[in-house]
């Protein structure tokens, strides 16, 4: 079911909205519809993550709040500046 097409009906629940589909699955089991399922393949692309020391994260978060920007924006800006400076050295 597409988020942009609310008139499209779900094949099993017959729901036309996320709420109707959720209500259906709150009261039904997939086991009751197993014969209507089929195997699919798909790729999951997880974002790259880094881990910061708790103290570094807290200081970065505090600075982001003071600056009024999202933490990720500030971290990317500072890292870009540092990496640009290292190239010149």
Written as one string, the DSSP assignment of 34-80 is GGG---------PPP-----HHHHHHHHHHHHHHTS-HHHHHHHHHH
pLDDT of 45 > 60? The answer is: yes
Report d(CA 62, CA 50) in Å as an integer: 19
Res. 34: pLDDT tops 50: yes
**52 against 9, higher pLDDT:** 52
Summary mean pLDDT of the chain = 87
Contact 63, 74 (CB under 8 A): yes
The per-residue pLDDT for 2 is: 47
- Joined together, the tokens standing for residue 52 give 């910061």
Comparing CA positions, the residue from 53, 54, 73 lying closest to residue 64 is: 73
């Amino acid at each position: 079911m597409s988020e942009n097409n609310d008139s499209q009906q779900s094949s099993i629940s017959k729901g036309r909205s996320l709420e109707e589909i959720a209500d259906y699955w709150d009261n039904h089991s997939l086991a009751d519809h197993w014969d209507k399922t089929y195997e699919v393949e798909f790729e999951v692309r997880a974002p790259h993550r880094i881990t910061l020391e708790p103290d570094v994260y807290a200081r970065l978060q505090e600075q982001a709040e003071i600056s009024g920007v999202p933490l990720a924006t500030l971290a990317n800006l500072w890292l870009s500046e540092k990496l640009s400076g290292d190239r010149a050295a």
